[in-house]
């Protein structure tokens, strides 16, 4: 699950990033509102932690701009403002939740997980193609009725491929979803996940398009 952190306080931002990564989130961190908006308009994120008082543009202004162009990524707003009217202003601007500073990292992570559940594919819904039935929320897949467990990143890769079945998904799009900007990523990391998926699904379902990316083949 990829999270954008927009926080200009270096100590707090570093602490949030380290804490969320320790809990299994993939994170990227920017320090001003303009950079946050640019990142969210150009790259896929699952969740956002947005400070209210950012340089360049306030977090609330960024949220308004995102909602005006139809971006629905869930945003948790961080604020030192404790007045009810100000919290209402943030929520009315399009924030999905808020947390008042100082806060506990465990609560932040729990609120992010709750936001992710609200947005996630409902448990009764599944991605299905060519005998493969994927339940993304449960990290499991059935192949011709036989259930097989998946890792978190395997699930993310397979979800993207099945959502675009028979279309090529560029390699860089898959890597952007799996890893943060500053994470050290082995050159063959994606290939390792693809290899594991092929072992579980059958070698012919995920095809390599050399020099471009991968596609989930149903034909």
Q: Please report, for the domain that includes residue 7, its CATH number.
A: 3.40.50.2300
Which residues form the domain of 195? 127-216
Among the candidates 119, 152, 168, a domain finishes at 119
Strand arrangement of the beta sheet that strand 2-6 belongs to: 26-30, 2-6, 47-51, 75-79, 97-100
CATH code of the domain covering residue 138: 1.10.10.10
132 shares a domain with 112:
no
165 and 99 in a single domain? The answer is no
Which residue, 119, 141, 161, sits at the end of a domain?
119
As a whole number of angstroms, the distance between CA 46 and CA 26 comes to 10
**113 and 131 within one domain:** no
72-83: pLDDT as tens digits = 899 999 988 777
Mean pLDDT, all residues of the chain: 87
CA distance 192 to 204: 16
Residues 6, 102: one domain? Answer: yes
- 218 contacts 130 by C-beta, under 8 angstroms: yes
Give the side-chain half-sphere CA count within 13 A for 72: 5
Q: At what angle do helices 59-68 and 84-93 cross, to 10 degrees?
A: 30
As a whole number of Å, the end-to-end CA separation of the chain is 30
Question: What is the tens place of the pLDDT at every residue in 150-172?
Answer: 888 888 899 889 988 899 999 88
Reported residue count of the chain is: 219
Q: What is the pTM of this model?
A: 0.62
Tell me: do 144 and 204 sit in the same domain: yes
Domain count across the chain: 2
How far is CA 157 from its chain centroid?
Answer: 12
The CA distance from 127 to 149, in Å, is: 15
**88-122: pLDDT as tens digits:** 888 899 999 999 998 999 999 999 998 887 776 55
């Amino acid at each position: 699950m990829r999270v954008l952190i927009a926080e200009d306080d270096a100590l707090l931002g570093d602490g949030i990033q380290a804490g969320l990564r320790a809990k299994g989130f993939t994170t990227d961190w920017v320090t001003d509102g303009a950079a946050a908006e640019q990142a969210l308009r150009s790259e896929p994120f699952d969740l956002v932690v947005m400070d209210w008082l950012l340089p360049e543009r306030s977090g609330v202004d960024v949220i308004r701009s995102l909602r005006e162009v139809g971006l629905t990524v869930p945003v948790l707003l961080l604020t030192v403002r404790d007045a009810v009217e100000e919290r209402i202003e943030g929520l009315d601007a399009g924030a999905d939740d808020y947390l008042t500073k100082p806060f506990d990292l465990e609560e932040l992570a729990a609120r992010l997980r709750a936001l992710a559940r609200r947005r996630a594919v409902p448990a009764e819904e599944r991605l299905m193609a060519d005998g493969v039935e994927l339940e993304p929320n449960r990290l499991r897949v059935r192949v011709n009725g036989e259930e097989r467990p998946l890792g978190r990143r395997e699930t993310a890769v397979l979800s993207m491929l099945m959502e675009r079945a028979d279309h090529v998904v560029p390699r860089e799009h898959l890597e952007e979803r799996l890893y943060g900007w500053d994470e050290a990523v082995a050159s063959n990391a994606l290939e390792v996940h693809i290899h594991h998926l092929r072992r579980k699904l059958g070698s012919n379902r995920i095809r390599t398009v050399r020099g471009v990316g991968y596609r989930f083949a149903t034909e």
